[in-house]
Amino acid sequence: MTVADDIRAKGMRMTVQRRLVLDALRRARHHITAEEIARSIRASYPQIDPSTVYRNLEALERLGYVTHTHLDDRVTRWRRADSPQHGHLVCRRCGSEEEISMSVLAPLAKRLKGEHGFSADLAHSAVVGLCRECAG
Amino acid sequence: MTVADDIRAKGMRMTVQRRLVLDALRRARHHITAEEIARSIRASYPQIDPSTVYRNLEALERLGYVTHTHLDDRVTRWRRADSPQHGHLVCRRCGSEEEISMSVLAPLAKRLKGEHGFSADLAHSAVVGLCRECAG
DNA sequence: TTACCTGCAAACTGTTTGCCGCTGT
DNA sequence: ACAGCGGCAAACAGTTTGCAGGTAA
């Protein structure tokens, strides 16, 4: 079943705008912000409103097609749900970002599950701290 | 050296407002938001402006007296830097919060330091996921 | 006396919402 | 045809900033 069919099967429509948001996410190598998605779409389709992008991201997240993460600012970053999951290390001094394998985070997730019954989503928020250079 | 003396030694002033912010943080059992601090101060001193609270939190953080953390919303939470550090588990479905010992997080911090040279501040952002009840 | 600090008002960023006409199914 | 959806403009929350006068040291 295609994405479009699945969306329709859930009583929703596959509109041009929805497809453009999906495409923008498909093109992105990493997480991108709603504003970046809107900007990249509006480069070719200037009439498309940022609020439409927000509404579509929310809808697509409900359907399980996209997810979001938080780095160390107030901005939400989006990615396709089927792109490879990974953690983030963000330096609070220089702002550098490093992606890390989920396997590094897995032992903590396991422990939180065992000791607290908590199913942690360790890809959801970046780990903040000081990178090698800034820690000196 | 008292806090006031230290602040003065750094060329800054100990104002009534600054002391009130410090006091509000001292009274709080857990992290509180700037808005909660402002509200609690304004209950007795209505003329004190929220922006003054923000400016003082920033100044006190620079001096190392307070730190902030992020749960799963857009709101910054503050605490005194000398209050006991701990991690947070926040349920994305029911919103419940649980505090956890830093010792649970320490192995990850150690590994990030060893493998990536990254000094992680694992108290800075809450771990988001599903609590025992919501995970089912 | 002299910077630092304050209250006030206004700006700002990222995001959400109400309205109403449009369009996919 | 009838929901869902889009564009537009306005509202929103949390926070930041410019200004001009006030106050700690």
Superfamily of domain B86-135: Ferric-uptake regulator, C-terminal dimerisarion domain (3.30.1490.190)
| B40 CA → C7 C1’, Å | 18
Beta strand B87-91 with B127-130: parallel, antiparallel or unpaired?
parallel
pLDDT at position A76: 98
Q: Which among A97, A75, A94 is positioned nearest to A86, based on CA atoms? A: A97
Residue A33 C-alpha, separation from nearest chain B C-alpha, in angstroms:
15
pLDDT at position A136: 84
* The model scores a pTM over 0.85: yes
Sign of torsion, CA B87 A66 B93 A15? Answer: positive
Domain residues of chain A, as ranges?
Answer: 3-80, 86-135
The reply to whether B49 has its C-beta less than 7 Å from any atom of strand C is yes
The reply to whether B42 has its C-beta less than 7 Å from any atom of strand C is no
List of residues 6+ apart from A126 with CB closer than 8 A: A69, A70, A71, A72, A87, A88, A89, A90, A97, B125
CA-nearest residue to B70 within chain A is A72
Residue pair B111/A127 in contact (Cβ under 8 Å)? The answer is no
pLDDT in tens, A66-118: 999 999 999 999 999 999 999 999 999 999 999 999 999 999 999 999 999 99
Query: Which pair of tokens denotes residue A132?
Result: 């090698």
CA distances from A96 to A85, A126, A133, A135, B100 (A): 19, 12, 10, 12, 28
CATH number for the domain running over A3-80: 1.10.10.10
Single-letter residue type at A18: R
The reply to whether A14 has its C-beta less than 7 Å from any atom of strand C is yes
pLDDT in tens, B47-106: 999 999 999 999 999 999 999 999 999 999 999 999 999 999 999 999 999 999 999 999
pLDDT > 80? residue B1: no
